[in-house]
């Protein structure tokens, strides 16, 4: 993998203008995305991830395959404390390098967006996780949440559930480059598909959903048969070595938190990332394509 990215001509011109101070960057919106996992063949690269391909007409990341996620809703930070189970907002804030209120909103957004875009709900009671969300009543609630007709607080209260924040682990974060007209400050979480639950093709923002082994997604991207944003590609590289979803969660929890903002190099016309990300991509590229093959996926 080459963790830099050659930009199209119109973005190169736009990025150069920002580098010269001729434009002001847009304010980023806080967002959460969730790498939903399930066990695969038990070997490195065999862990399976859930990906949605965004409609080509979407304003942001059109045609790209992404993890479930989206922007924070104002009501996400209003969740009642009694509906929260697992590490506290203060504990999350320490891990996520943000305030407790921000951490609370981001974790709530992660759970809400995952349910809205995949039908998977990371909630339950203190002792159990919801095992089936496929009924018509669940779908009605999902649609109401998606349309902002129902708040997460009201949804959980009505069903007698609590948010199971212990089912999540935060991997890191990415900030959209300053020259993009629509920017997000996104925290990346990982979670295991709860036992008994299944993903459903319910997102109105995507035209295809699928479970893929990490190595298969990287190979498709390398062959130009799947479009991945750099953060998505880098995240797949980050969890490549995990042979189970539990290993991926443990790796995420142990990894020092870092908010990454790709930078634009005027001379090369490329985006560049952190050295660790570069080295990781090269190493995983060798594993995916064979030792000695360092081409970008």
Within-domain flag for 29: yes
Within-domain flag for 170: yes
Sorted by sequence, the CB contacts under 8 Å of residue 218 that are 6+ apart come out as 1, 45, 233, 236, 237, 240, 284, 288, 297
Of the two residues 231 and 49, the one the predictor is more confident about is 49
Look at residue 204 in the predicted model and tell me its pLDDT.
73
pLDDT at 203 over 80: no
CB 170 within 8 A of CB 95: yes
Within-domain flag for 262: yes
Q: Give the range among 86-95, 111-120, 262-271, 280-289 with minimum mean pLDDT.
A: 262-271
Q: Identify the domain containing residue 135 by its residue range.
A: 5-289
Within-domain flag for 130: yes
For the entire predicted model, the pTM comes to 0.89
pLDDT at 41 over 90: yes
Within-domain flag for 15: yes
* Domains of the chain: total: 1
Residue 69 parent element (H or E): strand 69-71
pLDDT at 248 over 90: yes
| Distant-in-sequence contacts of 264-267, Cβ < 8 A, 24+ apart | 264/7, 264/15, 264/16, 264/18, 264/19, 264/177, 264/179, 265/4, 266/15, 266/16, 266/19
CATH of the domain at 82: 3.90.79.10
Task: Provide the CB-side half-sphere exposure for 286 (13 A, CA).
Answer: 7
pLDDT at 258 over 50: yes
Within-domain flag for 295: no
Within-domain flag for 294: no
Look at residue 289 in the predicted model and tell me its pLDDT.
83
143-153 per-position pLDDT tens digit: 999 999 999 99
Look at residue 293 in the predicted model and tell me its pLDDT.
41
Q: CA dist 107 to 96, 127, 157, 225, 229, Å?
A: 10, 20, 17, 32, 22
């Amino acid at each position: 993998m080459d963790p830099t990215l050659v930009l199209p001509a119109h973005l190169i011109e736009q990025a150069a203008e920002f580098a010269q101070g001729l434009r002001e960057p847009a304010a980023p919106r806080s967002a959460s995305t969730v790498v939903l996992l399930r066990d695969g063949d038990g070997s490195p690269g065999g862990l399976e991830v859930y990906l949605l391909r965004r409609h080509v007409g979407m304003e942001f990341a059109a045609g790209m395959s992404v993890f479930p996620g989206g922007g924070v809703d104002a009501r996400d930070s209003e969740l009642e404390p009694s509906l929260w189970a697992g590490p506290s907002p203060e504990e999350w804030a320490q891990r996520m390098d943000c305030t407790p209120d921000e951490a609370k909103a981001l974790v709530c957004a992660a759970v809400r967006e995952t349910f809205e875009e995949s039908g998977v709900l990371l909630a339950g009671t203190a002792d159990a996780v919801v095992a089936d969300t496929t009924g018509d009543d669940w779908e009605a609630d999902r649609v109401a949440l998606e349309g902002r007709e129902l708040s997460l607080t009201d949804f959980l209260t009505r069903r007698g559930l609590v948010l199971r924040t212990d089912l999540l682990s935060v991997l890191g974060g990415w900030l959209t480059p300053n020259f993009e007209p629509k920017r997000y400050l996104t925290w990346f979480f990982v979670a295991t598909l709860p036992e008994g639950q299944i993903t459903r093709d319910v997102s109105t923002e995507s035209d295809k959903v699928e479970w893929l082994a990490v190595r298969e997604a990287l190979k498709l991207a390398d062959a130009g048969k799947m479009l991945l944003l750099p953060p998505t590609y880098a995240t797949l590289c980050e969890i490549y070595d995990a042979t189970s979803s539990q290993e991926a969660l443990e790796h995420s929890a142990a990894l020092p938190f870092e908010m990454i903002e790709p930078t634009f190099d005027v001379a090369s016309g490329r985006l560049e990332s952190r050295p660790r990300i570069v080295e990781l991509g090269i190493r995983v590229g060798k594993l995916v394509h064979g030792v000695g093959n360092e081409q970008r996926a």
